Amino acid sequence: MVKGLEIKGVSFAYPPASRALAPVPVLDSVNLSLEPGSVTVLLGPSGCGKSTLLQVISGLLCPTTGTLTWDGEDLSGVPVHRRGFAMLFQDGELFSGRNVGRNVAYGLEMLRPKPSRVKREARVAEMLELVHLEGFENREVGTLSGGQAGRVALARALAPAPRLLLLDEPLSALDEQLKYELAADIRDILRAEGTTALYVTHDQAEAELVADTVGVMDKGKILARGQLADLRANPPTPEIAKFLRV
C-alpha cells in the first residue's frame, strides 16, 4: 500500500542578503503526513510559510533541514519533473498561445514516454468533462471567464494523473460567490479522481468546503491538525483560538 507523503522536521531559511545578516527563517521543523487520496488544507495568514512549504515539497526549494519521502522514497535530490507532483498556482498561468485543449494536453506532452495523440485527445476530453467544460477544446483562453480559466488550469494539472497535487491559493483572484462555488467543485473533482492534494488558503470558509482535514499554520509551524469544526470548538492554543476567532 502506498504510504503517501511524509514530512519530518523540515525547516527552510532564505540566505541572507549579505554576510553581515542572518538567514531569514520561513519554516520551522514542520511535520506532516498525507494519506493517499486525502485532501489536506493548510490554513493560515499571509506570510506564515504555506506557499514556501509547497515549493519545498515540489522541489523548487531545498529544505535547510529535515526529510521528505513519498511511499518511503527519499525525495532529496529528485528533480521537480521526476517527482510526479503537480502545482496549481494562484492565477492558473494558462498559456495564451495555446487553446484550451492544448493547455490541458501540456502535461501529457511532457510525459516520457509520451502518450499517443489519440490517447492525449481522449484524456483531454475526459478532463474537460470532469470540470464541466465539454466541447471547449478549441476555445482560446483569452475568451474564458475567471471561473472557466480556473477549471482549465485544474484540468491541466490533473491530466497527467499526478500522485500529489499542490494548490497554492488557487481561487484568490475570484469573487466570493464564484470562489466558493468552484471550491466545492474542486473538492468533488479531486475525490472523483482520487487525487492526493495539499491545498493552502487563508480563507476558513474555502478550507471547510475543500478539506478532509485542516492544518492551522503560523510562523512557519503547523500548530494543529484536525477537523475545522473540532479546532474551533476546542482550540488547542490561544494562537489558534485567535486566528479562528473562537
Complete DSSP assignment for 56-121: HHHTSS--SEEEEEETTEE-TT--GGGS-EEEE-TT----TTSBHHHHHHHHHHHSSSPPPHHHHH
Give the Cβ contact number of residue 118 at 10 Å: 8
Among 170, 186, 190, CA closest to 37: 190
CA distance 181 to 15: 40
Q: Which residues, in sequence order, are bridge partners of residue 11?
A: 65
Which pLDDT score, from 0 to 100, does residue 174 have?
Answer: 85
CB 12 within 8 A of CB 56: yes
Q: pLDDT digits over 178-232, tens only? A: 899 999 999 999 999 999 999 999 999 999 999 999 999 999 999 999 999 999 9
Q: Structural domain boundaries of the chain?
A: 1-84+164-246, 93-161
CA distance 111 to 42: 29
Cell triple for 125: 476530453
Residue 217 to residues 11, 29, 139, 174, 237, Cα–Cα distance (Å): 14, 12, 39, 23, 12
For the chain, what percent of residues have pLDDT higher than 90?
83
CA distance 100 to 136: 6
Cell triple for 92: 492558473
Q: pLDDT digits over 101-153, tens only? A: 999 999 999 998 999 999 999 999 999 999 999 999 999 999 999 899 999 99
Which pLDDT score, from 0 to 100, does residue 1 have?
Answer: 67
CA distance 84 to 245: 38
> Does residue 2 register a pLDDT over 80?
no
State the fold for domain 1-84+164-246: Rossmann fold (3.40.50)
CA distance 119 to 188: 24
